[in-house]
């Protein structure tokens, strides 16, 4: 594959345009190839119509680039889950809708999900900017909804953080295994999710363990 047509140089002050084009091309390659390893700096540069070093004018290294790609995608993560719960009154149903949305989002964006939640963090998170952790806002909302369920008596009173963490690991378990082991003879996803919700809706109503 010969290099794509050379990209026209941006006008003065418009250098940031390249950054956006790089992000777009990188995500497109990530989705098309389905392989993080195939998304090389050279392949991205080629897709954009630019030489490899130009990438480094906008991203310190490859990890930062991939992190940026995922950050863009996951800005929609929390919003997507919140939308999925719009108009639902029952706080317990809100929880289940959120869980279903989580799994769906992960399976719709498997490569980004893999980078964000199935590999070690690409960029070390400095203490103090923990709030910029992707998905942390979403987790906060989950804790809130769990607390709301407890207040409404929909689930047994207890530690909302502990319950939220457990719910997170539950939906992550399904999402990540489906992504990592697609060759396993999985039962129908809807059945699996229904069972998960069934178990939890019953299991969370009993007395919580002592904190």
Partner DNA sequence: CCGTTAACCTAACAACGATAAGTTAGCGGC
Partner DNA sequence: GCCGCTAACTTATCGTTGTTAGGTTAACGG
The residues that touch a second copy, with contacts defined as CB under 8 A, are 117-121, 125, 159, 161-163, 165-166, 168-174, 176-177, 180-181, 183, 186-187, 191-192, 194-196, 198-206, 208-209
Provide, rounded to whole angstroms, the least separation between the CB of residue 140 and DNA: 32
- Judged by CB under 7 A, the residue of 32, 61, 144, 198 near DNA is 61
Residues 12-51 that bind DNA (CB under 7 A): 12-18, 39-43, 49-51
Helical pair 62-84 and 91-108, crossing angle rounded to 10 deg: 150
205's tokens = 């109503």
- Rounded to 5 degrees, φ, ψ at 57 are -75, -20
Between 24 and 159, CB nearer to a second copy: 159
Between 17 and 125, CB nearer to a second copy: 125
117's tokens = 């939640």
Q: Summarize as ranges the residues that interact with DNA (CB under 7 A).
A: 6-7, 9-18, 39-43, 49-57, 60-63
């Amino acid at each position: 594959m010969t290099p794509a047509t050379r990209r026209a140089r941006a006008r003065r002050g418009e250098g940031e345009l390249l950054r956006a084009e790089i992000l777009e091309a990188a995500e497109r390659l990530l989705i098309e190839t389905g392989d993080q390893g195939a998304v090389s700096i050279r392949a991205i540069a080629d897709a954009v119509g630019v030489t490899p070093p130009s990438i480094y004018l906008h991203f310190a290294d490859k990890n930062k680039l991939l992190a940026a790609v995922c950050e863009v995608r996951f800005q929609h993560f929390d919003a997507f889950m919140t939308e999925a719960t719009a108009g639902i009154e029952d706080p317990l149903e809100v929880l289940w809708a959120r869980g279903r949305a989580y799994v769906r989002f992960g399976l719709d964006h498997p490569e980004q999900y893999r980078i964000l939640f199935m590999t070690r963090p690409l960029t070390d998170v400095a203490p103090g900017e923990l709030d910029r952790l992707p998905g942390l806002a979403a987790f906060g909302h989950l804790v809130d909804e769990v607390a709301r369920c407890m207040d409404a008596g929909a689930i047994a009173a207890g530690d909302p953080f502990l319950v939220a963490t457990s719910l997170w690991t539950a939906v992550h378990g399904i999402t990540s295994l489906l992504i990592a082991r697609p060759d396993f003879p999985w039962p129908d996803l809807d059945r699996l999710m229904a069972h998960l919700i069934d178990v939890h809706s019953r299991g969370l109503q009993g007395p919580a363990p002592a904190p």
